[in-house]
Homo-oligomer: A and B are copies of this chain.
């Protein structure tokens, strides 16, 4: 893995993402990317035909992480699952200009929009396939119709995309997501599946989460972000019950 970080395609992606996140996708021409990476426009064109192709390179990264999160046919390893969830969220964060600016970016480009929507459908399908395999392997209970693994897969993807936006509102200038935010998103992900995962899997994932992220962050995360904000209706509920 270490050597691949130095490949030209990776360097192009790194440079492009830094530029897109800093200046906005529309304001970075291909020529600037070539110049920043230190290659010719022709060489850049050999690797990526357009900025859209650079953006959509996020898809194989996310698919790889999903595949590694649950090796097909192998017993589920909660620690690996949590690590790959972290990888997915960090990758999405690197592409935050994209996920957070989708409507602006895609509104004028019908072809890119269709490719993005296909990518999104494939992501949800891949998540669902993992959930189906967890059921086959006994790590997860069957889900009663009309509810389904498809619904849960949709919900996970929606939460991950929303989380990006929450975190960027929280720390607009940050180059990295805060550990507390990563913790919360995975905590939410696990808990959405909690009624369906067997108890041991939930416990193993929460243990792995606590092992991957410093304990002090857990406390912060719990207190700050999942702590009960003022409950606007409490008074009314209380009085109606009393």
The answer to whether residues A194 and B144 also contact, given A162-B158, A232-B126, A237-B72 and a CB cut-off of 8 A, is yes
Task: For A214, list chain B residues within 8 Å (CB).
Answer: none
Q: A222 to chain B: closest CB distance in Å? A: 9
Kindly state whether residue A35 has any CB partner on chain B within 8 Å.
no
Within 8 Å by CB of A237, from B73, B104, B192, B194, lies B73
Contacts of A147 in B (CB 8 A): 191, 194
A100 → chain B, closest Cβ, in Å?
5
Interface size counted on chain A using CB atoms at 8 A: 65
Contacts A113-B169, A148-B226 supplied; 18 other A-B pairs, CB < 8 Å: A67-B233, A72-B240, A101-B103, A103-B165, A104-B104, A107-B172, A125-B228, A125-B229, A125-B230, A125-B231, A128-B228, A129-B234, A132-B231, A147-B194, A151-B192, A158-B158, A159-B159, A161-B165
Query: Which residues of A are in contact with B by a Cβ distance under 8 Å?
Result: 63, 67, 72-73, 100-104, 106-107, 113, 116-117, 121-122, 124-126, 128-130, 132-133, 136, 144, 146-148, 150-151, 154-155, 158-159, 161-163, 165-166, 168-170, 172, 187-188, 191-192, 194-196, 206, 226, 228-234, 236-237, 239-241
